[in-house]
């Protein structure tokens, strides 16, 4: 996929000064803080809702959602900004949040280990700085490039959680929907190597697709549960911006599921999360989108409230 890479861009004064932001991602149990080393993502997943999020669309120079995967902005000075932020953000201060875990997520609106990272090494430097400063770091990636940094991660394994997205195990489907990302089979192999090195791991069934059945959850369970993950996070396909239309463009006639998906989404959320809790058992970590819960009848919504994390 041809990608335009911008290294010299004008960013807001706040973005130039700071790298680590406090985050509401604790509501998904993902982190109290977040670092996004890049703007844009070479993986270009059609389901991705990041380009419709304020953290991207207000900083990407007005690029439309359809351009996602075709541009990458290398945040200028982000390693220096991380160093500066760490002067004030000690591990003691990092837990003074609503959630109170002090977890720094790398990353959420971009993939920290996309192909450009191979030459830039920005994520490697940021992760090293965070861990050497004593922080707890959660890494979320669709790439096996993270293997390069296992030396750093295994040296600080007690404060690392490394996860990868596994919405399905079908490498051919991934080629169509996640054209720039390494195949799911490579991600499973990466998790296996991490587990062998003693690095705590998790898998994110994200996003679970509307046409998939519990058989897909069972296949993922068969691949990851033997690796003793700390958790398996599950989230269904989230309609946001134009992502459903973009998936339809990628799947063509196979996209019949799209009709009425927005209306079916709340009930689909409830049924997938119940299946996921059953299949992944004690390691299941679920996030029922509050917008989906709000549209459900009380008797179906009530049990889901138990899966929503509370502050503190
Ligand atoms: S890897 Fe993640 S951030 Fe990148 S396009 Fe895919 S879903 Fe979006």
Does the beta carbon of 270 sit less than 6 angstroms from any atom of ligand 1? no
- 212: Cβ below 6 Å to ligand 1? no
Whether 310 maps to a domain, the answer reads no
Per-residue pLDDT band for 12 (boundaries 50, 70, 90) equals low
The answer as to whether 275 is a domain residue is yes
Domain harbouring 126, CATH code: 3.80.30.10
The yes-or-no verdict on residue 207 having pLDDT over 90 is yes
| pLDDT, position 8 | 57
Query: Is the C-beta atom of 41 inside 6 A of ligand 1?
Result: yes
pLDDT at 13: 64
Q: Residue 1 domain-assigned? A: no
Indicate whether 216 belongs to any domain: yes
CA nearest ligand 1 atom 6, residue? 45
Between CA 148 and CA 128 the distance in angstroms is 13
60 belongs to a structural domain = yes
Please check whether residue 4 lies inside any domain of the structure: no
* Average of per-residue pLDDT values in the chain: 93
User: For residue 15, what pLDDT is reported?
Assistant: 67
Mutation pick for ligand 1 pocket among 63, 181, 241 (CB with most ligand atoms within 8 Å): 181
Atom 3 in ligand 1: residue holding the nearest Cα: 110
- 232/7: higher pLDDT: 232
Task: Indicate if ligand 1 lies below 6 Å from the C-beta of 45.
Answer: yes
Please report the atom of ligand 1 found closest to the CA of residue 50.
8
Ligand 1 center to 152 CA (angstroms): 24
Q: Is the CB of 50 under 6 A from ligand 1?
A: yes
What is the pTM (predicted TM-score) of this model?
A: 0.94
Query: Which comes out higher in pLDDT, residue 14 or 216?
Result: 216
CA of 56 to the centre of ligand 1 (A): 12
Expressed in angstroms and rounded, the spacing between residue 249 Cα and the centre of ligand 1 is 17
Domain extent for 145: 12-305
DSSP notation for the chain: ---EEESS----HHHHH-S-EE-GGGGGTS-SEE---EES-TT--TT--GGGSHHHHTTSTT--GGGTTSEEEE-TTHHHHHHHHHHH--HHHHT-SSS---EEEE-SSS-TTSTTHHHH-HHHHHHHHHHHTT-EEEEEES-GGGGGGHHHHHHTGGGEEEEEE-S-S-HHHHHHHSTTSPPHHHHHHHHHHHHHTT--EEEEEEEEPTT--HHHHHHHHHHHGGG--SEEEEEE----TTHHHHHHHHHGGG-GGGTTHHHHHHHHHHHHHHHHHHHHGGGEEE---HHHHHTS-HHHHHHHHTTS----
Tens of pLDDT, residues 58-112: 888 889 999 999 999 998 899 999 999 999 999 999 999 999 999 999 999 999 9
State if residue 48 touches ligand 1 by the CB under 6 angstroms criterion. Answer: yes
Assess if residue 112 is contained within a domain.
yes
Mutating to test ligand 1, I would choose from 178, 179, 235, 250 the residue with most ligand atoms within 8 A of its C-beta, which is: 178
CA 142/CA 119 separation, integer angstroms: 18
Query: Looking up tokens 């409830």, which residue turns up?
Result: 270
**C-alpha span between 223 and 159 (Å, rounded):** 24
Atom of ligand 1 nearest to the CA of 142: 1
The atom number, within ligand 1, closest to the CA of 47 reads 7
Atom of ligand 1 nearest to the CA of 178: 6
* Residue 257 pLDDT level (bands cut at 50, 70, 90): confident
Q: Is residue 2 part of a domain?
A: no
Average pLDDT over residues 198-215: 97
Structural domains of the chain, count: 1
Mutate to test the pocket of ligand 1, among 45, 70, 237 (most ligand atoms within 8 A of CB): 45
């Amino acid at each position: 996929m041809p990608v335009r890479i911008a290294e010299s861009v004008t960013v807001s004064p706040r973005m130039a000064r700071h790298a680590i932001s406090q985050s509401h991602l604790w509501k998904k149990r993902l982190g109290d803080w977040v670092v996004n080393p890049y703007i844009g993502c070479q993986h270009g997943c059609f389901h991705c809702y990041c380009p419709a999020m304020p953290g991207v669309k207000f900083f990407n120079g007005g690029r439309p959602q359809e351009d996602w995967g075709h541009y990458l902005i290398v945040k200028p000075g982000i390693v220096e900004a991380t160093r500066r932020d760490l002067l004030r953000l000690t591990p003691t201060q990092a837990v003074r949040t609503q959630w109170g875990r002090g977890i720094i997520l790398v990353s959420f609106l971009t993939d920290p280990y996309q192909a450009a990272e191979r030459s830039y090494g920005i994520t490697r430097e940021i992760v090293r700085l965070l861990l050497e400063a004593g922080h707890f770091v959660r890494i979320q990636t669709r790439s096996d490039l993270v293997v390069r940094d296992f030396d750093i991660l295994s040296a600080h394994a007690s404060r690392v959680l490394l996860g990868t997205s596994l919405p399905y195990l079908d490498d051919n489907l991934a080629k169509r929907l996640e054209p720039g990302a390494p195949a799911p089979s490579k991600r499973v192999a990466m998790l296996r190597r991490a587990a062998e090195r003693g690095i705590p791991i998790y898998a994110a069934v994200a996003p679970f697709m509307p046409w998939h059945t519990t058989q897909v959850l069972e296949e993922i369970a068969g691949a990851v549960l033997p690796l003793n993950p700390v958790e398996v996070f599950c989230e269904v396909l989230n309609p946001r911006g134009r992502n459903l239309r973009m998936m339809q463009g990628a799947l063509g006639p196979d996209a019949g599921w799209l009709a009425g998906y927005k209306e079916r989404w709340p009930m689909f959320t409830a049924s997938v999360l119940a299946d996921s809790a059953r299949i992944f058992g004690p390691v299941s970590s679920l996030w029922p989108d509050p917008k989906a819960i709000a549209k459900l009848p009380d008797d179906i919504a009530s049990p889901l409230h138990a899966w929503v994390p509370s502050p503190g």
